[in-house]
Amino acid sequence: MKKETRARVLAHGEIARGVYRLAVETKQVAAPGCFYMIRAWEDEPLLSRPISIAKQEDGVTEFLYLVVGRGTKLLSKVKVGLKITLVGPLGNGFPLESGKIALVGGGIGIAPLIELSHALDVPPDVFLGFRDETYGEEYFRAKEIYVATESGAKGHKGFVTELFDAKEYDVIYACGPTPMLRALQHKVGDDAKLYLSLEAHMACGVGACIGCTVASGDTYKRVCKEGPVFLSQEVQL
Ligand SMILES: Cc1cc2nc3c(=O)[nH]c(=O)nc-3n(C[C@H](O)[C@H](O)[C@H](O)COP(=O)(O)OP(=O)(O)OC[C@H]3O[C@@H](n4cnc5c(N)ncnc54)[C@H](O)[C@@H]3O)c2cc1C
Ligand code: FES
Protein backbone atom coordinates (compact mmCIF):
# COMPACT_ATOMS: atom_id res chain seq x y z
CA MET A 1 0.00 0.00 0.00
CA LYS A 2 1.44 3.39 -1.00
CA LYS A 3 1.74 5.92 1.79
CA GLU A 4 0.12 9.33 1.75
CA THR A 5 2.53 12.21 1.32
CA ARG A 6 1.98 15.92 1.76
CA ALA A 7 3.17 18.08 -1.15
CA ARG A 8 3.65 21.85 -1.15
CA VAL A 9 1.90 23.79 -3.92
CA LEU A 10 4.44 25.78 -5.93
CA ALA A 11 2.16 27.23 -8.61
CA HIS A 12 -1.55 27.06 -9.29
CA GLY A 13 -3.75 28.92 -11.74
CA GLU A 14 -6.54 28.77 -14.32
CA ILE A 15 -5.18 28.42 -17.88
CA ALA A 16 -8.54 28.15 -19.69
CA ARG A 17 -12.17 28.22 -18.56
CA GLY A 18 -12.38 25.67 -15.69
CA VAL A 19 -8.95 24.18 -16.50
CA TYR A 20 -6.19 24.54 -13.89
CA ARG A 21 -2.47 23.92 -13.89
CA LEU A 22 -1.10 22.83 -10.51
CA ALA A 23 2.59 22.35 -9.67
CA VAL A 24 3.64 20.63 -6.44
CA GLU A 25 6.92 19.59 -4.83
CA THR A 26 7.42 15.79 -5.01
CA LYS A 27 10.24 13.33 -4.36
CA GLN A 28 8.81 10.35 -6.25
CA VAL A 29 9.62 9.63 -9.90
CA ALA A 30 6.91 8.18 -12.13
CA ALA A 31 6.50 6.87 -15.65
CA PRO A 32 4.40 9.01 -18.01
CA GLY A 33 0.76 7.93 -17.79
CA CYS A 34 0.83 7.28 -14.03
CA PHE A 35 -1.43 9.19 -11.69
CA TYR A 36 -1.84 10.28 -8.08
CA MET A 37 -4.90 10.07 -5.83
CA ILE A 38 -5.19 13.67 -4.67
CA ARG A 39 -7.06 15.36 -1.87
CA ALA A 40 -7.09 18.97 -0.82
CA TRP A 41 -9.74 18.76 1.87
CA GLU A 42 -10.29 17.07 5.26
CA ASP A 43 -13.16 14.56 5.58
CA GLU A 44 -15.63 15.38 2.82
CA PRO A 45 -15.77 14.24 0.07
CA LEU A 46 -14.65 10.89 1.45
CA LEU A 47 -12.63 9.78 -1.56
CA SER A 48 -9.47 11.24 -3.06
CA ARG A 49 -9.57 11.99 -6.79
CA PRO A 50 -7.29 10.46 -9.48
CA ILE A 51 -5.33 13.03 -11.51
CA SER A 52 -2.65 12.17 -14.10
CA ILE A 53 0.89 13.40 -14.02
CA ALA A 54 1.14 15.99 -16.80
CA LYS A 55 4.81 16.81 -16.27
CA GLN A 56 7.51 15.74 -13.86
CA GLU A 57 10.92 17.32 -13.66
CA ASP A 58 13.50 18.16 -10.98
CA GLY A 59 11.28 17.30 -8.02
CA VAL A 60 8.25 19.15 -9.37
CA THR A 61 5.09 17.39 -10.56
CA GLU A 62 2.53 19.27 -12.63
CA PHE A 63 -1.13 18.43 -13.13
CA LEU A 64 -3.74 19.78 -15.53
CA TYR A 65 -7.28 19.31 -14.35
CA LEU A 66 -10.81 20.31 -15.25
CA VAL A 67 -13.27 21.37 -12.56
CA VAL A 68 -16.26 19.01 -12.92
CA GLY A 69 -17.58 18.49 -9.38
CA ARG A 70 -16.97 18.88 -5.67
CA GLY A 71 -13.43 17.51 -5.40
CA THR A 72 -11.92 19.41 -8.31
CA LYS A 73 -13.76 22.57 -7.19
CA LEU A 74 -12.16 22.29 -3.72
CA LEU A 75 -8.78 21.58 -5.31
CA SER A 76 -9.06 24.72 -7.46
CA LYS A 77 -9.24 26.85 -4.28
CA VAL A 78 -5.86 25.71 -2.90
CA LYS A 79 -3.37 28.56 -2.54
CA VAL A 80 0.34 28.50 -3.39
CA GLY A 81 2.43 27.57 -0.33
CA LEU A 82 -0.20 25.25 1.20
CA LYS A 83 0.11 21.44 1.13
CA ILE A 84 -2.13 18.84 -0.52
CA THR A 85 -2.24 15.08 0.09
CA LEU A 86 -1.02 12.65 -2.58
CA VAL A 87 -1.00 8.86 -2.83
CA GLY A 88 1.14 7.52 -5.61
CA PRO A 89 2.45 7.51 -8.21
CA LEU A 90 -0.05 4.79 -9.20
CA GLY A 91 -0.86 2.80 -12.34
CA ASN A 92 1.22 1.21 -15.08
CA GLY A 93 2.00 4.20 -17.32
CA PHE A 94 2.64 4.23 -21.07
CA PRO A 95 5.22 1.74 -22.41
CA LEU A 96 7.79 3.76 -24.36
CA GLU A 97 7.90 2.55 -27.98
CA SER A 98 9.92 3.62 -31.03
CA GLY A 99 8.91 4.25 -34.63
CA LYS A 100 6.53 6.80 -36.09
CA ILE A 101 4.33 7.88 -33.22
CA ALA A 102 1.09 9.84 -32.84
CA LEU A 103 -0.46 11.13 -29.63
CA VAL A 104 -4.21 11.74 -29.69
CA GLY A 105 -5.79 13.71 -26.85
CA GLY A 106 -9.35 14.79 -26.25
CA GLY A 107 -10.14 17.63 -23.83
CA ILE A 108 -8.50 17.27 -20.43
CA GLY A 109 -7.29 13.84 -21.67
CA ILE A 110 -4.33 15.71 -23.15
CA ALA A 111 -2.78 15.85 -19.64
CA PRO A 112 -0.86 12.52 -19.45
CA LEU A 113 0.22 12.82 -23.09
CA ILE A 114 2.29 15.93 -22.26
CA GLU A 115 4.83 14.02 -20.15
CA LEU A 116 4.80 11.19 -22.68
CA SER A 117 5.70 13.62 -25.50
CA HIS A 118 8.85 14.56 -23.55
CA ALA A 119 9.77 10.96 -22.70
CA LEU A 120 9.68 9.45 -26.23
CA ASP A 121 13.00 9.18 -28.06
CA VAL A 122 11.69 11.11 -31.10
CA PRO A 123 9.14 13.98 -30.99
CA PRO A 124 5.72 12.60 -31.98
CA ASP A 125 2.93 14.07 -34.10
CA VAL A 126 0.33 15.40 -31.67
CA PHE A 127 -3.40 15.57 -32.42
CA LEU A 128 -5.58 17.47 -29.94
CA GLY A 129 -9.36 17.74 -29.94
CA PHE A 130 -11.52 20.16 -27.95
CA ARG A 131 -15.17 21.19 -27.90
CA ASP A 132 -14.40 24.92 -28.27
CA GLU A 133 -11.61 26.63 -26.32
CA THR A 134 -8.17 25.04 -26.76
CA TYR A 135 -5.38 24.86 -24.16
CA GLY A 136 -2.08 23.22 -23.36
CA GLU A 137 -0.61 23.00 -26.88
CA GLU A 138 2.53 24.84 -25.72
CA TYR A 139 3.39 22.17 -23.10
CA PHE A 140 4.01 19.45 -25.72
CA ARG A 141 7.26 18.41 -27.36
CA ALA A 142 6.10 17.64 -30.90
CA LYS A 143 7.16 17.27 -34.50
CA GLU A 144 3.82 18.81 -35.51
CA ILE A 145 0.69 19.73 -33.53
CA TYR A 146 -2.73 19.49 -35.20
CA VAL A 147 -5.85 20.82 -33.49
CA ALA A 148 -9.55 20.13 -34.04
CA THR A 149 -12.47 21.88 -32.35
CA GLU A 150 -16.10 20.84 -32.62
CA SER A 151 -17.16 24.52 -32.73
CA GLY A 152 -14.57 25.47 -35.36
CA ALA A 153 -13.00 28.01 -32.94
CA LYS A 154 -9.50 26.81 -33.89
CA GLY A 155 -8.00 24.36 -36.38
CA HIS A 156 -10.07 21.70 -38.13
CA LYS A 157 -13.83 21.96 -37.46
CA GLY A 158 -14.87 18.51 -36.31
CA PHE A 159 -13.43 15.58 -34.35
CA VAL A 160 -9.75 14.93 -33.67
CA THR A 161 -10.18 11.41 -35.09
CA GLU A 162 -10.68 12.97 -38.55
CA LEU A 163 -7.21 14.53 -38.53
CA PHE A 164 -4.93 11.59 -39.31
CA ASP A 165 -4.48 8.37 -41.23
CA ALA A 166 -3.65 5.56 -38.78
CA LYS A 167 -1.69 3.69 -41.48
CA GLU A 168 0.98 6.42 -41.32
CA TYR A 169 1.89 5.47 -37.73
CA ASP A 170 3.51 2.51 -35.98
CA VAL A 171 2.18 3.41 -32.53
CA ILE A 172 -0.67 5.64 -31.38
CA TYR A 173 -1.21 6.66 -27.74
CA ALA A 174 -4.57 8.15 -26.78
CA CYS A 175 -6.38 9.60 -23.79
CA GLY A 176 -9.76 11.30 -23.74
CA PRO A 177 -13.48 10.68 -23.30
CA THR A 178 -14.63 7.08 -23.77
CA PRO A 179 -16.62 7.83 -26.99
CA MET A 180 -13.41 9.22 -28.53
CA LEU A 181 -11.42 6.14 -27.47
CA ARG A 182 -14.14 3.86 -28.87
CA ALA A 183 -14.06 5.75 -32.19
CA LEU A 184 -10.28 5.36 -32.23
CA GLN A 185 -10.49 1.59 -31.67
CA HIS A 186 -12.78 1.42 -34.68
CA LYS A 187 -10.68 3.74 -36.85
CA VAL A 188 -7.24 2.32 -36.06
CA GLY A 189 -8.12 -1.40 -36.07
CA ASP A 190 -4.91 -3.27 -36.86
CA ASP A 191 -3.31 -0.38 -38.77
CA ALA A 192 -1.18 0.67 -35.78
CA LYS A 193 -0.45 -0.43 -32.22
CA LEU A 194 -2.94 1.56 -30.13
CA TYR A 195 -2.55 2.31 -26.41
CA LEU A 196 -5.55 3.77 -24.58
CA SER A 197 -5.40 5.51 -21.22
CA LEU A 198 -8.80 4.96 -19.60
CA GLU A 199 -10.83 6.84 -17.03
CA ALA A 200 -13.02 5.23 -14.42
CA HIS A 201 -14.63 6.23 -11.16
CA MET A 202 -12.11 5.25 -8.49
CA ALA A 203 -12.53 4.66 -4.79
CA CYS A 204 -9.26 3.19 -3.48
CA GLY A 205 -6.98 3.75 -6.51
CA VAL A 206 -4.77 0.81 -5.49
CA GLY A 207 -6.58 -2.32 -6.68
CA ALA A 208 -8.46 -3.18 -3.48
CA CYS A 209 -12.11 -2.23 -4.07
CA ILE A 210 -12.78 -3.53 -7.63
CA GLY A 211 -14.64 -0.29 -8.24
CA CYS A 212 -12.91 0.72 -11.47
CA THR A 213 -13.11 -2.32 -13.75
CA VAL A 214 -13.23 -2.49 -17.54
CA ALA A 215 -14.31 -5.52 -19.58
CA SER A 216 -11.36 -7.49 -20.97
CA GLY A 217 -12.32 -10.62 -22.94
CA ASP A 218 -14.21 -12.95 -20.57
CA THR A 219 -12.94 -11.15 -17.51
CA TYR A 220 -12.38 -7.68 -16.04
CA LYS A 221 -9.33 -5.55 -15.39
CA ARG A 222 -8.85 -2.83 -12.81
CA VAL A 223 -8.15 0.54 -14.41
CA CYS A 224 -6.18 1.69 -11.35
CA LYS A 225 -3.95 -1.38 -11.06
CA GLU A 226 -3.61 -3.16 -14.44
CA GLY A 227 -4.13 0.22 -16.17
CA PRO A 228 -4.92 3.01 -16.71
CA VAL A 229 -3.06 2.24 -19.97
CA PHE A 230 -4.20 -0.78 -22.02
CA LEU A 231 -3.55 -2.05 -25.51
CA SER A 232 -6.70 -1.44 -27.54
CA GLN A 233 -7.27 -5.18 -28.12
CA GLU A 234 -7.26 -5.85 -24.35
CA VAL A 235 -10.40 -3.85 -23.51
CA GLN A 236 -14.03 -3.59 -24.62
CA LEU A 237 -15.23 -0.02 -24.08
C1 LIG B 1 -6.42 7.41 -14.03
C2 LIG B 1 -7.19 8.72 -14.12
C3 LIG B 1 -6.53 9.87 -14.41
C4 LIG B 1 -7.24 11.10 -14.49
N5 LIG B 1 -6.53 12.22 -14.80
C6 LIG B 1 -7.18 13.40 -14.84
C7 LIG B 1 -6.46 14.60 -15.14
O8 LIG B 1 -5.23 14.58 -15.37
N9 LIG B 1 -7.15 15.75 -15.17
C10 LIG B 1 -8.52 15.79 -14.91
O11 LIG B 1 -9.12 16.86 -14.96
N12 LIG B 1 -9.20 14.68 -14.64
C13 LIG B 1 -8.58 13.49 -14.58
N14 LIG B 1 -9.29 12.36 -14.27
C15 LIG B 1 -10.73 12.49 -13.96
C16 LIG B 1 -10.89 13.01 -12.53
O17 LIG B 1 -10.45 12.01 -11.63
C18 LIG B 1 -12.37 13.34 -12.25
O19 LIG B 1 -12.78 14.40 -13.08
C20 LIG B 1 -12.54 13.74 -10.79
O21 LIG B 1 -12.36 12.60 -9.98
C22 LIG B 1 -13.89 14.34 -10.55
O23 LIG B 1 -14.01 14.61 -9.19
P24 LIG B 1 -15.02 15.71 -8.64
O25 LIG B 1 -15.16 15.51 -7.17
O26 LIG B 1 -14.62 17.08 -9.10
O27 LIG B 1 -16.36 15.39 -9.40
P28 LIG B 1 -17.53 14.44 -8.89
O29 LIG B 1 -18.39 15.26 -7.99
O30 LIG B 1 -16.99 13.15 -8.39
O31 LIG B 1 -18.25 14.18 -10.28
C32 LIG B 1 -18.74 15.27 -11.06
C33 LIG B 1 -19.26 14.75 -12.37
O34 LIG B 1 -18.19 14.15 -13.14
C35 LIG B 1 -18.48 12.78 -13.38
N36 LIG B 1 -17.22 12.07 -13.21
C37 LIG B 1 -16.44 12.05 -12.12
N38 LIG B 1 -15.36 11.28 -12.32
C39 LIG B 1 -15.47 10.81 -13.57
C40 LIG B 1 -14.68 9.95 -14.37
N41 LIG B 1 -13.53 9.41 -13.92
N42 LIG B 1 -15.12 9.66 -15.61
C43 LIG B 1 -16.26 10.18 -16.08
N44 LIG B 1 -17.04 11.01 -15.38
C45 LIG B 1 -16.66 11.31 -14.15
C46 LIG B 1 -19.51 12.39 -12.38
O47 LIG B 1 -20.35 11.36 -12.84
C48 LIG B 1 -20.29 13.67 -12.21
O49 LIG B 1 -21.22 13.84 -13.24
C50 LIG B 1 -8.62 11.14 -14.22
C51 LIG B 1 -9.30 9.97 -13.92
C52 LIG B 1 -8.61 8.76 -13.88
C53 LIG B 1 -9.33 7.50 -13.54
S1 FES C 1 -10.28 2.07 -7.57
FE2 FES C 1 -10.35 0.41 -6.15
S3 FES C 1 -9.76 -1.29 -7.44
FE4 FES C 1 -9.48 0.45 -8.71
Query: CA 197, 201, 207, 213 torsion: positive or negative?
Result: negative
- Residue pLDDT, tens place only, 190-218: 999 999 999 999 999 999 999 999 999 99
181 lines ligand 2 (CB under 6 A): no
Hey, where are the domains in the chain?
4-90, 101-197
Statement: 101-197 belongs to CATH 3.40.50.80? yes
Provide the H-helix boundaries in 120-232: 178-188
How high is the pLDDT of residue 1?
65
128 lines ligand 2 (CB under 6 A): no
Q: Whose CA is nearest to atom 38 of ligand 1?
A: 201
- Residue pLDDT, tens place only, 142-162: 999 999 999 999 999 999 999
35 lines ligand 1 (CB under 6 A): yes
pLDDT exceeds cutoff 80 at 2: no
198 lines ligand 2 (CB under 6 A): no
CATH, range 4-90: 2.40.30.10
24 lines ligand 2 (CB under 6 A): no
What does each C-alpha distance from 227 to 176, 206, 212 come to in angstroms?
A: 15, 11, 10
Mean pLDDT over residues 155-175, rounded? 97
Distance 158 CA to ligand 1 centre (A): 24
Of all ligands present, the nearest one to the C-alpha of 226 is 2
Which residue, 153, 157, 165, 103, is CA-closest to 128?
Answer: 103
Q: d(Cα 222, Cα 208) in Å, to the nearest integer?
A: 9
Distance 76 CA to ligand 1 centre (A): 14
